[in-house]
Amino acid sequence: MKFTKMQGAGNDFVVVDAKNKRLNWNELAIKMCDRHYGIGADGLLVKLPSKKADFKMRIFNADGSESAVCGNGLRCLVSHYLDSDGNGLQDQITVETSIDIRTAKIQRGPDNATEIKVNMGAPKIGIKTIPVAELQQKSSLDIMSLMNRVINIDRKELLLNLVSVGNPHAVHFIDEDVMNFPLAEVGPEVERHKLFPDETNFEVVKIINRNKIEARVWERGVGETLACGSGACAIMAAGQLTGKLDNKVEMKLPGGILKVEWDYRKDNNIYLSGPTETVFSGEW
């Protein structure tokens, strides 16, 4: 089976054009994503035929669990579709996911360089995933009561901002350097906390200014990753609803820069842009 290794801001994936293959993708993800005995990746992206969109996307984490959506994975799979399927002149791509249809716009610059901007949909807030559209009628106090939860990890209180972007996220703002935060110790505790029966992704964020942040991500079913597209969108939602961020933000993660746009007063949808790269191709 042919595969392509791709990465977006260091968030890396094995990409397989499955066509109509019926395989145990959960088991294959564990084997293919193993960094010692397999190809090595944060996740497995499977491209399938779709009757509703240009193609269908499934994503499996390195532990074999399936995720509903992945922003960097979506951008990588769109790039793969453009490069390998003879669709390089398309300006807009539609992708079927397990929850809805996502749209990607192809922005071409000098020297035919392309940037892929994906519509990540409308975020939902809080444990009961209240749609953002409803929040336009609520006060900031109501928003905080829906979004904020405090948990205790090793006798230390963490204030979490709870956001869903198709998958769950817990965003924690800090004042110190994010690289000094003990993510390897705290991340697994937050991921598997009793507050989250389906577990959660966890982000630690430092605000540099209203248009720039630094962040690290602990991904559910993966561990720490160099970047996370859906995590970047969750950070944007939490930051803007708490009055910390403007509607266009540059996010510095260990693997690179992601750009996020959101203005829920005009458009509920969050938009994610950033780099993608084909690392190598091979045969499994």
Secondary-structure class of domain 124-272 per CATH: alpha beta
- Do residues 3 and 15 make contact, with C-beta atoms less than 8 angstroms apart? yes
Beta bridge partners of 171: 161, 203
- Please tell me if the domain spanning 2-119+275-283 has the same topology as the one spanning 124-272: yes
Q: State the Cα–Cα distance between residues 203 and 160, nearest whole angstrom.
A: 9
Place of tokens 């960097």: 72
- Position 154 scores a pLDDT of 83
**Average pLDDT of each block of 10 consecutive residues along the chain (284 residues)?**
95 93 93 97 96 95 93 94 76 92 85 81 75 60 78 91 91 97 96 90 97 97 95 95 94 96 88 93 97
Q: State the Cα–Cα distance between residues 167 and 71, nearest whole angstrom.
A: 11
Residue burial 257-275, b: 16+ Cβ < 10 Å; e: rest: ebbbbbebeeebbbbbbbb
Neighbours of 99 (CB within 10 A): 11
Output the six-digit token pair for 17: 């054009």
Annotated catalytic, 233? no
- Position 166 scores a pLDDT of 87
Phi, psi angle pair for 220, to nearest 5°: -60, 125
Annotated catalytic, 228? yes
**Residue count of the chain:** 284
Sorted by sequence, the CB contacts under 8 Å of residue 217 that are 6+ apart come out as 201, 202, 203, 224, 225, 227, 228, 231, 253
pTM of the model: 0.89
Active-site entry in 33, 70, 76, 233: 70
**How is the chain split into domains, by residue range?**
2-119+275-283, 124-272
Sorted by sequence, the CB contacts under 8 Å of residue 175 that are 6+ apart come out as 206
Place of tokens 């249809």: 101
- Position 24 scores a pLDDT of 95
Active-site entry in 33, 76, 228, 233: 228
- Position 273 scores a pLDDT of 94
Secondary-structure class of domain 2-119+275-283 per CATH: alpha beta
Q: Which helix (H) or strand (E) segment is 31 a member of? A: helix 25-33
